[in-house]
Amino acid sequence: MIAASLQNTLLLNYLVREIEEQLKAFGLNRSKQAFRPHISLGKIPKTADAETIEIPSVLQNCHDMRVTVDQLTLYQSKFPCYSVVQTKWLERYD
């Protein structure tokens, strides 16, 4: 997987706990894996040769980027298909 790591802040952990609480209503339990904040950017086939993968130069030195998140979308994954279960627009906090 290709991913961008995110800073693990108290606010982000609070958001994760709140989302997990809300998902209980759908019968979804908390993940047993430790929370590692990231944004998945893509997948690399298992058969790919790691030595041949090149990171574009524009991405090699990306640090301290900020993104604004205005909605959360819950997907159902039945590989290779993903379908939207629900989308929630977020309020802006300045």
The H or E element spanning position 59 is: helix 57-60
Quick check: 71 and 87 in contact, CB under 8 A? yes
What's residue 10's pLDDT?
Answer: 92
Confidence of residue 84 (pLDDT cuts 50, 70, 90): very high
pLDDT digits (tens, 9 = 90+) for 16-73: 888 888 888 888 888 888 888 888 877 787 888 878 888 778 777 777 777 788 888 8
State the amino acid at position 21 in one-letter form: E
| Residue 94, pLDDT above cutoff 70 | no
The H or E element spanning position 10 is: helix 10-23
Question: How far is 10 from 87, CA to CA, in rounded Å?
Answer: 24
Strand partners of residue 3: 40
